[in-house]
Chains A and B, each alone.
Chain A
Amino acid sequence: ETGVTQTPRHLVMGMTNKKSLKCEQHLGHNAMYWYKQSAKKPLELMFVYSLEERVENNSVPSRFSPECPNSSHLFLHLHTLQPEDSALYLCASSQDWWGNYGYTFGSGTRLTVV
């Protein structure tokens, strides 16, 4: 296993549903991230948490709501999504606060909004 675990692996949800993506790391890392990967587009940073405190929100719509209850767990709560939100959502963690040594990624959640 990679050290960063994401569940579920696949998720299909209607536009009126509420669901949550889960990420956990047991690497002792200090920062965690949510990225969105859409077809034919570069990865987009959504949220950064450093020591459980959110430090960046890249103008992400409010229908995406992150939660970091402790340094090992990160959630992305989803509600009233749009079909264009269908994508691969990747969680990552880094040992240092700045990620200068690279990130450890999970295998992602493939989200389909119908």
Chain B
Amino acid sequence: AQTVTQSQPEMSVQEAETVTLSCTYDTSESDYYLFWYKQPPSRQMILVIRQEAYKQQNATENRFSVNFQKAAKSFSLKISDSQLGDAAMYFCAYRSAVNGGSQGNLIFGKGTKLSVKP
């Protein structure tokens, strides 16, 4: 069974600085999707970034980028120029690309709480 591990329960960053959140996963599959979700105090989970495992290029969305290391099964999120609005819980998630398998089974890590200091 696949697992997702976020080893940092809490992180803190100074406004305008850069922070990296860690995520590792365990799978025997070669094709899958990885996601980072943000959950602010409003509780709504917001998709931050998505990576397809067969793509070598790291995904980027504005100030958010990932460092995808497939061999190491690592998927870290880098937030550049941190803003106060980035303060939230961040969840890493894995989804098998084998359609016909466990549909909808996004496997989440336990999350990292990010604080942004002014």
Residue on A nearest B99 in the bound complex, by CB: A98
Contact residue among A45, A104, A108 (Cβ-Cβ distance under 8 Å from B105) = A45
Question: Which of B57-99 touch A at CB < 8 Å?
Answer: 91, 95, 97, 99
Contact residue among A41, A42, A97, A102 (Cβ-Cβ distance under 8 Å from B47) = A102
Interface residues on B, range: 20 to 34
Q: A58 to B37: give the CA distance in the assembly, Å.
A: 22
- A11 beta carbon closer than 8 Å to chain B: no
A43 & B95 in contact (Cβ 8 Å cutoff) = no
- A66 beta carbon closer than 8 Å to chain B: no
Q: A56 to B104: give the CA distance in the assembly, Å.
A: 8
Known: A42-B4, A108-B44. A102 touches B103 (CB 8 A): no
Tell me which residues across on chain A come within 8 A of B91, comparing CB atoms: 43
Expressed in whole angstroms, the minimum distance between the Cβ of A51 and any Cβ of chain B is 12
Question: Which of A25-68 touch B at CB < 8 Å?
Answer: 31, 33, 40-43, 45, 48, 50, 55-56
Tell me which residues across on chain A come within 8 A of B104, comparing CB atoms: 31, 33, 45, 48, 50, 55-56, 94, 98-99
Q: Residues on A close to B: CB < 8 A?
A: 2, 31, 33, 40-43, 45, 48, 50, 55-56, 88, 90, 92, 94, 97-108, 110
